[in-house]
Chains A and B, each alone.
Chain A
Amino acid sequence: MNPVDLIQVLVSGVALGGVYTLIGKGMFITYRTTQTLNFGQGDLLAVAAYLALTLATAGAPAPVVLVGSVAAVALLGMVVERVAVRPFQDRPHAAGALAWILTTFGFGLILQNMLVSVWGKSKQYSPPLFSTKADSLVTLAEVRFYREELAVALASLVIVGLFYLALFRSRWGKQVAAVAFDKATSALLGIDVKRTVVSSYVLMAMLAAISGVLIGPIVTIQPHIGLLFLVKGFAVVSVGGFTNPIGVLVAGIAFGVVEGFANYFDSLFGDLYAYVFVFFILIFRPTGLFGERHQGVR
């Protein structure tokens, strides 16, 4: 492997890793407010990627593509919360405490099928968002990068930064922390718990949508692409941990880079390593990654 290849694999790894970080952040925020994750989160990403593809192909400028796709998927985020999560909160159910996994997963299956119905099963390529041609290159210190990948890497880092700002520096962030700690107490303190929960799901959907818009031009998209991103995003949060702002970012990027190299060296089984990695990571770091509180028995 020559140094130029190395740096190129590194950059595309960082680009994908940044996207994994965004997905992981979406999981984190809904888990904080409701102790649930959207198992159809990857499918929201896929929906956004297809919407962006259609808008961009129709000639819409990049800001319109972004805002249009993100707004539509944010609405889906509200729907998921309403039909697949809220009905199962704090209510005993035959599926135990895990009903939400099945329902959010089911919601994702419906979305996947919608994608097949509208856009068909075949793989598609999205036109680039930040450059005029898919293979536009930027030359830095004699190494050439795909302009698109570089832009995706930077964009995802900026959004992660904004996310932290919202979480740690805003009133909304404090409300999330309060709701995560105790819903009843938060309600007594005048926090609109329902609205905070819905907002967390909307934010999750927006992060997934942004990821979808960003990755569209740098990977091939197909209706079932969401699953890959769901599993990888989950792995990234599990490794990085939530209390550490740097940790999840480092984990996300490391994951993207490792995956990039795996694909480079073994094109047949390249994507297998990511799952094997997830498998072992979860074995060795199975809990405590969400900063879960230990509750004693009384």
Chain B
Amino acid sequence: MKIVLAAMAIFIAAFSLDNHYPLLIGQNIFLLAIVAIGLNVLFGWSGQLSIGHAGFLALGAYVSALLALKLKLPLLIGIGAGVMMASAAGLVLGLVALRAKSHYLAMITLAFGVIVEILVQRWVGLTGGSMGLIGVPRLNFGDPARGTQWMFIVTGLAWLAIQAANNRLSVSRIGWGLRAIKESEPAALAVGIDVRVWKAAVFVASAALAGLSGALFAHQSGYVSSDAFGLDKSVSLLIAVVIGGLGLRYGAILGACFVVLIEQALASRFEVSGYLYGGALLAVMLYLPVGLAGLADSLARRRAVRSVDGARSQDVMWSDRDGPPAGSLLLETRQLGKSYEGVVALENVNLRVVAGTVHAVIGPNGAGKSTLVNLLSGMDAPSQGETLYRGQDLAAVPPHRRTRLGMVRTFQNLQLVNELSVIENVMLGLAPPAFGLRGLAAEFGDQLRESRRQHAAAVLRFVEIADLADRKVADLAYGHRKLCELARAIAQSPTLMLLDEPIAGLNEHEAAIVALILRKLKARGATLILIEHNMPFVMAISDRITVLNYGRVIADDEPAVIQRNPAVVAAYLGGAVDTAVP
């Protein structure tokens, strides 16, 4: 509905304004906003910084302009080809981004931008260099008299469609998943996100939007010059995103308005742009990190807190997998070992975890417990040995796929997405819709969102933090964050849960809640691998205990037997009891 109104507003504005100047400004704002949305998704959501985004603009613009000018192809084909070209370059950089991170990636994108700039500037025979290509066909639907209006409408509708998609995705698994990648890759892996594919894909999407903006730009005035795609352009794109509000829905359009209007105001005295851009970057980062959109948000206080009622029944929270029969062997390790640069963290570990049981792994600090969890969840590769899950060798199964097999972990150092709300973190744990276009379509719809919310609300009620559903994770107390992570794991309907110190740091009340939750999970047929230091808790809840010391298994038995084992007592008390200091 809002979209229809906005589209009508664009049409009315186009045909009611006789003066072309505001329409041209509007076109520029829309064109900049289209790129900025893409850059915002790339940087603000997934945390990948590109300082060379003008390179994608240039590819889109020149491919489209040249196809229309030299080969006389229809504009639509040219624009499509421009988008494809930019996407292809985006794919290359996306693949690079899998290997190079943070400042390395920033530097590579910078080099990419400069390479494209040099090429379009000096390859005069093809691009016309800074003299430019003249007479590029304009986008006016054969109606030159109203070309400005048509261009305004085309750019406006393109922005509107992209903005609408952006708003939808911002609160979908895709939006949350990208934020998880930015804040904590382990969290993203733990909820089954293929971080590598996502990172490359978001680069392609971002480049495609830049290509579209560049291609439309080529047919805006009929003139394309290399001066439009320099490093200053990449910088002004970043400024738009940062000033507008990183990661926020309307950040791109607000930032685009700001940058275009400032550039218009300064057109005559261009030599202050460095002061302005540099100063703006510093000032906004220092004093207004949320940007204009964040400022508007906090002024309006729109973030109304929705109550989480939804279904009362807890059955909704548990989608049963066809779990293995209780008593069968669920997970087995054979001679599993891990050494870091010669330091042996784990050696010859043979673990046999029976379905439907709580299997504790205990041991003093440095015994290799967390290493074991990392090996089992696939976040670290073993140096030797193998792991079998339901008879399947996991050696070639990456961590995000183990999650989909029903192996779900929690972390000792919590891995949550702090900028998302509690319920969004939990929804991130819910199963993704079917892969492909239908899944993507579902992400845009309301139905999936509502059912996810119901499901997540039920899980939150189960761990007794339903009242915190719409609070940001960053604002929670430690204990509540811990319960939130547990809720996310439960939302994944695990067959096997790997719990790394689930009650460390909790107060007694919270620990009691966790104990209750774990018992309920067990009653529902889940199998738990539990790493914990709190002995009364471990003894009370476990069916079997494996004791590690210095990376080796020193005991493996029922709790009552373990308690009497002299080697275990010695390991925990830090020395043999019977050779006490004289």
Residues of A within 8 A of B (CB): 37, 39, 83-84, 87-88, 92-99, 101-103, 105-114, 116-117, 121, 227, 231, 234, 238, 268-269, 271-272, 275-276, 278-279, 282-283, 286-287, 294, 296-298
Contact status B282-A286, CB under 8 Å:
no
Inter-chain contacts of A87 with B (CB < 8 A): 286
- Residue of A116, A275, A276 touching B271 (CB-CB under 8 A): A116
CB distance from B42 to the nearest CB of A (A): 12
- 12 A–B contact pairs at CB < 8 A? A93-B285, A95-B246, A99-B289, A102-B281, A103-B285, A106-B277, A106-B279, A268-B122, A272-B122, A278-B108, A286-B100, A287-B99
Which residue of chain A lies nearest to B118 when distances are taken between CB atoms in the complex? A272
Residues on the B chain within 8 Å of A271, using CB: 118
The 8 Å CB contact of B99, one of A84, A121, A283, is A283
Bound state CA distance, A95 and B106, in angstroms? Answer: 13
Contacts A95-B242, A113-B273, A297-B415: A278 and B282 contacting too (C-beta < 8 A)?
A: no
Instruction: Report how far A258 CA is from B275 CA in the complex, Å.
Output: 35
**A113-B271, A286-B104 known; A278 vs B231 contact (CB < 8 Å):** no
**With known contacts A96-B182, A283-B108, A296-B380, A272–B115 Cβ distance under 8 A:** yes
Cβ B277 vs Cβ A109 within 8 A = yes
From known contacts A113-B272, A283-B96, infer whether A92 and B418 are also in contact, taking CB-CB under 8 Å. Answer: yes
Establish whether residues A94 and B118, one from each chain, have CB atoms under 8 Å apart when the complex forms.
Answer: no
Residues of the A chain whose Cβ atoms lie less than 8 Å from the Cβ of B99: 283, 286-287
Bound-state CA distance A101–B104 (Å) is: 11
Whether the pair A282, B118 counts as a contact (CB closer than 8 A) is no
Could you give, for residues 88-107 of chain B, a 1 whenever the CB lies within 8 Å of some chain A CB and a 0 otherwise?
A: 00000000100111111011
Cross-chain contact B107 with A106 (CB below 8 angstroms)? no
Residue of B274, B282, B371 touching A296 (CB-CB under 8 A): B371
Contact call B115/A276, Cβ cutoff below 8 A: yes
Q: Sorted from nearest, which 7 A-B pairs have the closest CB atoms?
A: A113-B274, A106-B281, A109-B278, A286-B100, A110-B278, A106-B278, A286-B99
Residues of the A chain whose Cβ atoms lie less than 8 Å from the Cβ of B285: 88, 93, 95, 99, 102-103, 106
Do the beta carbons of B49 and A287 come within 8 Å of each other? no
A residues in contact with B103, CB < 8 Å: 37, 98, 101
Q: Does B313 contact A (CB under 8 A)?
A: no
Beyond A238-B107, A296-B374, 4 additional pairs, beta carbon < 8 A: A95-B242, A106-B277, A282-B96, A283-B100
Is the CB–CB distance between B104 and A287 below 8 Å?
Answer: yes
User: What residues of B have a CB within 8 angstroms of the CB of A97 in the complex?
Assistant: 47, 102
B289 A93 Cβ-Cβ under 8 A = yes
Asked if B412 CB lies within 8 Å of chain A CBs, one says: yes
A82 → B minimal CB distance (Å): 11
- The docked-state distance in angstroms from the alpha carbon of A102 to that of B241 is 12
Q: Which of A92, A121, A286 counts the most chain B CB atoms within 10 A?
A: A286
Name the A residues within 8 Å of B44 (CB-CB).
Answer: 94
B122 touching A278, Cβ below 8 Å = no
B291 located at the interface, meaning its Cβ lies under 8 Å from any Cβ of chain A in the complex: yes
For residue B110, CB closer than 8 A to chain A, the reply is yes
Given contacts A279-B111, A283-B100, contact A109 B186 (CB under 8 A): no
Residue of B nearest to A115 (CB): B274
B494 at the interface (CB under 8 A from A): no
| Measured CA separation A296–B53 after assembly (Å) | 33
Residues of B within 8 A of A117 (CB): 271
Establish whether residues B275 and A275, one from each chain, have CB atoms under 8 Å apart when the complex forms. Answer: no
Cα of A190 to Cα of B96 in the assembled complex, Å = 42
Q: Which of A92, A111, A231, A234 contacts B474 (CB 8 A)?
A: A92
For the residues of A in contact with B, the DSSP-based class is helix
Which residues of chain B come closer than 8 Å to A275, judged between CB atoms? 111, 114-115, 118
Do B281 and A103 touch across chains, with their CB atoms under 8 A apart?
A: yes
Q: Which residues of A contact B114 (CB under 8 A)?
A: 227, 231, 275
Asked if B255 is at the interface (CB within 8 A of a chain A CB), the reply is: no
A283–B51 alpha-carbon span in the complex (Å):
16
Which residue of chain A has its CB nearest to the CB of B281? A106
B190, closest chain A residue (CB): A297
Residue from the list B115, B280, B380 in contact with A106, Cβ < 8 A: B280
Cβ of B171 under 8 Å from chain A: no
Q: What are the residues of chain B within 8 A of A268 when measuring CB–CB?
A: 122
- B: residues with CB less than 8 A from A are 43-44, 47, 49, 51, 96, 99-104, 106-108, 110-112, 114-115, 118-119, 122, 182-183, 186, 231, 235, 238, 242, 245-247, 271-275, 277-282, 285-286, 289-291, 294, 340, 370-371, 374, 379-380, 411-413, 415, 418, 474, 500
Q: Contacts A96-B183, A279-B115 given; indicate if A105 touches B281 (C-beta within 8 A).
A: yes
Residues of B within 8 A of A103 (CB): 281-282, 285-286
Provide the bound-state CA to CA distance between A276 and B117, in Å: 12
Candidates B107, B186, B242, B380; contact of A282 at CB < 8 Å:
B107
For residue B198, give the distance in angstroms from its CB to the closest CB of chain A. Answer: 16
A94 touches B290 (CB 8 A): yes
Q: How far is the CA of A276 from the CA of B273 in the complex (A)?
A: 28
**Measured between C-beta atoms, what is the minimum distance from A251 to chain B in Å?**
15
| Cα A63 to Cα B411 with chains together (Å) | 59
CA distance A105 to B106 in the complex (A): 11
Chain B residue nearest in CB terms to A101 = B106
Q: Give A283 to B97 CA distance when docked, in angstroms.
A: 9
In the complex, the answer to whether A278 meets B111 with C-beta atoms within 8 Å is yes
Q: Kindly provide the distance from the CB of A44 to the nearest chain B CB, expressed in whole angstroms.
A: 14
Question: Which residues does chain B contribute within 8 Å of A96, judged by CB atoms?
Answer: 47, 182-183
A110 partner, pick from B118, B274, B415, beta carbons under 8 A: B274
Are A107 and B110 also in contact (CB < 8 A) when A238-B104, A279-B115, A297-B186 are? no
Whether the pair B100, A282 counts as a contact (CB closer than 8 A) is yes
Q: How far is the CA of A234 from the CA of B183 in the complex (A)?
A: 26
Across-interface contacts of A272 in B (CB, < 8 A): 115, 118-119, 122
Give the complex CA separation of A39 and B278 in angstroms: 12
- Give the CA-CA distance A39 to B102 in the complex, in Å: 13
Cβ-closest chain B residue relative to A108? B278
Give the Cβ gap from B118 to chain A, nearest Cβ, in Å: 5
Least Cβ distance of B288 to chain A in Å?
10
Known contacts: A93-B285, A106-B280, A298-B500. The answer to whether A282 contacts B108 by CB under 8 A is yes
**A227 to B183 alpha-carbon distance, docked (Å):** 30
Are the C-beta atoms of B47 and A98 separated by less than 8 Å?
yes
Chain B residues with CB under 8 Å of A83's CB are 282, 286
**B282 is contacted by which of A95, A107, A283 (Cβ under 8 Å)?**
A107
- Give complex CA distance A234, B500 in Å: 40
Task: Say whether B275 contacts A113, CB under 8 Å.
Answer: yes
Residue of B110, B281, B289 near A109 (CB, 8 A) is B281
Question: Is B272 in contact with A296, judged by CB distance below 8 angstroms?
Answer: no
Q: Name the CB-closest residue of B to A223.
A: B274
CA distance A112 to B231 in the complex (A): 13
A residues in contact with B101, CB < 8 Å: 286-287
Q: Within the assembled complex, what's the spacing in Å between the Cα atoms of A99 and B103?
A: 11
Note all chain A residues with C-beta closer than 8 A to B242. 95, 102
On whether A296 and B100 interact (CB within 8 A), knowing A98-B106, A113-B274, the answer reads no
Contacts of B411 in A (CB 8 A): 297-298
In the assembled complex, the CB of B439 is this many whole angstroms from the nearest CB of chain A, namely 27
Contact of A298 with B413 in the complex, beta carbons under 8 Å: yes
Decide: B118 and A297 in contact? CB cutoff 8 A: no
Most buried by B among A96, A97, A108: A96
Least CB separation from B108: chain A residue: A282
